[in-house]
Chains A and B, each alone.
Chain A
Amino acid sequence: MSEGAGTPEPITRLIEAFHKLPGIGPKSAQRLAYHVLRTPPQEAEALAAALRDVKARIRFCSVCLNITESDPCSYCQDARRDASTICVVEQALDILAIERIGFRGRYHVLHGVLNPIEGVGPEELHLKELLQRLGNEEVKEVIMATNPSLEGEATAMYVHRLVAPLGVRVSRLARGLPSGADLEFTDDLTLSRALEGRQDF
């Protein structure tokens, strides 16, 4: 469905703006735009204000690149956290998952993974900042918490090769079966790694 010539310009503009968001196709963009049109003015205002504030007030932590309102971010400021361990994640959202399981070290957000075909190289990741931290801070271990995908693993190996000469221990999350997985449908790679990582009862 495309917008007819009769569609008022502000609506077309809003549809286009929604369409640019990840995962939003033309139909969803249209549905969202007409939804906004029907909502009370104060709700639409609140949405607009939230959009403005997120750009105006949220920034990257100058230490770990987490997204934050205060710089350094709360994790970097918290003296009770173990500063000798840095958990490296692909995106800021991953921090929430690692926090949930009780990790209490520091973080470093790469804001991406190496993706050679799509043209994302080491220059595009925040690796320089990580190396700087390893030079300045008393870091004993870097935990690579990238996804067990081709890209995530390439990133982990790349960081390891960069960091190893500095004498810092580099580890990565164990790889194996996700809970709820079905052996019948599990790929050989995951299964063989799960077998290697087996543990006694």
Chain B
Amino acid sequence: MGERPRVYKTEGIILRRRNLGEADSIFTVYSDREGKFDAVARGVRKARSHMRGHLEPLTRTRMMIARGRSIDVFTQAETVTSYRAIREDLERAAGAVYCAELADRFTAEHAPQDGLYALLIDTFDALEAGAPLHTVRFFEVSLVALAGYELQLDACALCGARLPEADTLLSATAGGLVCGPCRAGAGGGRVVSIRAVKVLRHAGRAGIDSFAALDLGEALARELQAALGDVIRHLLEREPSAGRFVDDVSRLPVGATLP
């Protein structure tokens, strides 16, 4: 392998920020070419920092990075999209932060995952344009597939038998839907409605816009959120922190937004 260039350019979504020392921050970025990486922005917490607003979490940013011995360093950052509509709406912001956390947890550093950057951008673009919150379910189904855990939804994940057009067990352990006879060996799961099954299949085949345009209604949207939440929790072996926040926000009284 040849020497890697000392400075590289890339474009990415800022996933996380942690403060370092008095004025620096470390950012976790998911980028098109480098995959996920951490880099430090020196002096970014000072009011006059040129990079400050360009490195806010959830921003799509073009950046220049210098490879450092222990950690890479931002030398330039310029916003492509600030996703203002997302960050000014609590539900959308919570959904986008949840997607950002999943992108972080499902990837390893400097190992770009084919299609993931485009998925992040598509999801954020859709949410920014006013797509309903169930668009996050499209992100979950697609992310899980990209990470190599595509849900088996067309036949029984254990025996391959055809599934009846009826409510069916979705088992995270089995990796998809499970037929009646296999249920005992599925290691638990959740029975999902046939409507939910159809929506999940649609997420695997359709584009994000077509999925976002579905009119799910509240009960079905909640069912899908819970079912995919099980799958994500099983794969990560933990509850995503932002998932709890999504729940906190959903319990708030609905009301006007801040001026």
Contact = CB atoms under 8 A, between A and B. Distances in A.
Interface string B214-255: 000000000000000000000000000110111011001111
Interface string B1-39: 000000000000001101111100000000000000000
Given A121-B244, A164-B253, A165-B255, A116 B79 contact: no
A62 B52 CA distance: 35
14 contacts: A22-B21, A114-B245, A116-B101, A116-B244, A117-B57, A117-B100, A117-B241, A119-B244, A153-B93, A157-B88, A158-B248, A158-B252, A160-B258, A188-B82
A157 B22 contact: no
Interface of B: 15-16, 18-22, 47-48, 50-54, 56-59, 79, 82, 84, 87-90, 93-94, 97-98, 100-101, 104, 241-242, 244-246, 248-249, 252-259
A154, A170, A171 — most chain B CB neighbours (10 Å):
A154
A180 B47 contact: yes
B81 to A, nearest CB: 8
Contact of A116 (B47, B52, B84, B245): B245
A117 B255 contact: no
A81 interface: no
List the 5 shortest-distance A-B pairs measured between CB atoms, nearest first: A187-B53, A116-B245, A189-B82, A185-B50, A23-B21
A185 B44 CA distance: 13
A150 B257 contact: no
Q: Secondary structure at chain B's binding surface: helix, strand, loop or mixed?
A: mixed
A182 B90 contact: no
A12 interface: no
Given A121-B245, A154-B93, A192 B84 contact: yes
A135 interface: no
Interface residues of A, number: 38
B252 A161 contact: yes
Contact of A186 (B19, B53, B56, B100): B53
Contacts of B258: 144, 156-157, 160, 170, 172
A116 B50 contact: no
Contacts of B18: 118
B242 A116 contact: yes
A150 B56 contact: yes
Contacts of A187: 52-54, 56, 59, 79, 82
Interface in A157-186: 157-158, 160-162, 164-165, 170-172, 178, 180-182, 185-186
B232 to A, nearest CB: 14
Contacts of B57: 117, 150-151
A190 interface: yes
B84 A189 contact: yes
A122 interface: yes
